[in-house]
Amino acid sequence: MQNNAIFCLEMSNFAQKEYDTIVCGAGPAGLMAACTLGRLTGTARRVLLLDKKAPWKEPIFCAEAVSADRLAALWPIDPAFVRGRLSGIYFTSPKRYRAEFYSKNCGLILNRALFHKSIADAAQNHGVECHFDALIHKLERTESGWNVQVSQGGESVTLTAKTIIDASGPSCRLTRNIPCLEGIETGDTDLESGIFAVADGIEHSPEHIELFFGSEFQDGYGWIFPRDGKEVNIGFVLGKSVKNGEPLRQKLMNFIAKNYPKATVKAVYGGMIACGQSNKPLAKCGLFKAGDAASCVNPISRSGIVESLLSGKIAAEAVDQWLKDSGENRGAIEEATLARWMKALGKNHLQIANAKAGFNSITDEQFDKAAKRLSRLPREKQTLIRIFWNVLWSCPSVIWKMRSFLR
C-alpha cells in the first residue's frame, strides 16, 4: 500500500502551493529532517520533501558502513535493510602489513536503497508530502518566507514556504548569492575527490572493512567494504589539494588490476565528497542546513551517514521551535542550531580537522612500521587506542602537529 501511495505522489501535482517547511534533498539528512518534522507536527504543519530522483532507485555514491550503536540511537534497525554485520576493521599499510581492530557486531553494512525507502515511507506516514521527480532551481527570500522555483514533468511552478531545510548535498548552489544568507555554511568547506567500484572476485572478509593508507592515496585512504559476501565496494578518496595527473577512474582500475587480478568490476561511480567542519552558522532567515550541505562530515574518516541523520534531526527540531515561536526568539533559535550540532559532534569534528594535516604527513615507512608492530600482537590487544598510539609512536613529530586533537 505504501509503495502505491508514493508512486501516486511521484506522478501527481503538488497538493498545495504554500507550505510551512520545504525540505530540499532526499538523502539521509533530508529524509530524517522531513520524517522528524512530520512526527513532531503531524497534520498541524504542511511539510514538503523534494528531490529530483527517488532515493531508493539509483545507486548511492558512497560506502554503506555505519556504527550499529550510533544508528540504533537515531533509527530502528530493520534486518530488511541490513546487508551484513561487521566485527572489525583492518588497517593496511603500503607494504600490506595489517593491523586488526576487532569488536563483535560493531557495525552494519546497509542496503542504502532500502534504508532510504524505510525513512521515506515513515515520513509519508507522518503526513509529509513527498515528490521525488521535482528539480529545485532557485530559492528566493521574501517578506513572509521563501519562494521555491521547481520544475516537475516539464512544467515549472513557484511554491512558498515559511522555512527551508537545505539538505541538497555538498557544494549545492541553492543558497549561493542570497544576501540574507551571507556567512552561512555553504557545504564546500572541504570537498575531495572520491571514486569507487562495485566488484566481485576480490578476496575479503565479509565481517571486516579494510582501509589502506599511504602515499598511494595521498591525503586520503583506500577501502574495501563488503556488501553481500561476494560483492565489495572498493575505492579511495584523495585530499582536495592533490594534483593527480592520472584520471581517478584509471587509478582505481590500476589498483584493482595490480592487487586483485581476478576481480570483475561491475560498475564505477565517483564524485566530490564533503570532508570538512566549520564554525559557520547553520541557520539564517528561516533557512536551516543539514547533512553534506552543512559540512556535517567527519573530516578524516569522511563518514557521513549517521552524521547526516543526526544533523537532519537537529535541523527539524529547530524548525519546529522556529515555527511555534511568535518571532521574538527566532534568531536565537537559528543561532542555537549550530550550538546543538557542535555539542553533539561538531566540536569533535573541528578537533579532527585540526589534526588532519598532521595525519596526512605520516610517511609510508611510518605506517609500515606501526602496522608491522601491531600485526604481531594478539587480536584482543589491537584496540583502536593502541593502533592510534602505535602510529604516533612510529612518527613522534606528528604528535606536535596533532596537539589540538590530543587535548
Residue 172 pLDDT > 90: no
Reading the block at residue 195, the C-alpha cell is 571514486
* DSSP 3-state percent helix, strand, coil across the chain (nearest 5): 40, 30, 35
Residue 302 pLDDT > 80: yes
CA distance 398 to 281: 31
Residue 13 pLDDT > 80: yes
Residue with cell 577501502: 223
Q: Could you tell me whether strands 191-200 and 155-166 are parallel, antiparallel, or unpaired per DSSP bridges?
A: unpaired
Residue 93 pLDDT > 90: yes
Quote the pLDDT of residue 398. 40
Average pLDDT over residues 350-357: 84
Quote the pLDDT of residue 111. 93
Residue 255 pLDDT > 90: yes
For 29-33, 147-151, 184-188, which range has the lowest pLDDT when averaged over its residues?
184-188
Specify the CATH number of the domain 2-58+113-189+277-357: 3.50.50.60
Percent of the chain with pLDDT over 70: 88
Specify the CATH number of the domain 192-274: 3.30.9.10
Quote the pLDDT of residue 401. 35
Quote the pLDDT of residue 55. 86
Residue 60 pLDDT > 80: no
Average pLDDT over residues 261-276: 91
Top pLDDT among 306 and 11 is at: 306
Quote the pLDDT of residue 64. 87
Residue 43 pLDDT > 90: no
The 10s digit of each residue's pLDDT in 380-396 is: 665 666 666 555 555 54
Percent of the chain with pLDDT over 90: 65
Residue 89 pLDDT > 70: yes
Domain ranges of the chain: 2-58+113-189+277-357, 192-274, 359-406
Residue 248 pLDDT > 60: yes
Quote the pLDDT of residue 367. 87
For 91-100, 144-153, 372-381, which range has the lowest pLDDT when averaged over its residues?
372-381
Quote the pLDDT of residue 390. 59
Quote the pLDDT of residue 400. 34
Average pLDDT over residues 160-182: 91
Quote the pLDDT of residue 318. 98
Residue 10 pLDDT > 50: no
CA 245 to chain CA centroid, nearest Å: 27
Top pLDDT among 253 and 172 is at: 253
**119 contacts 75 by C-beta, under 8 angstroms:** yes
CA 262 to chain CA centroid, nearest Å: 31
Strand partners, 284: 287
Top pLDDT among 352 and 66 is at: 66
* pLDDT category of residue 245 using cuts at 50, 70 and 90: confident
Quote the pLDDT of residue 3. 45
Quote the pLDDT of residue 395. 54
pTM for the model? 0.90
The 10s digit of each residue's pLDDT in 203-229 is: 999 999 999 999 999 999 999 999 988
Around 318, how many Cα atoms within 13 Å sit in the side-chain half-sphere?
A: 30
Q: Measure Cα distances from 229 to 154, 202, 265, 268 in Å.
A: 42, 10, 15, 19
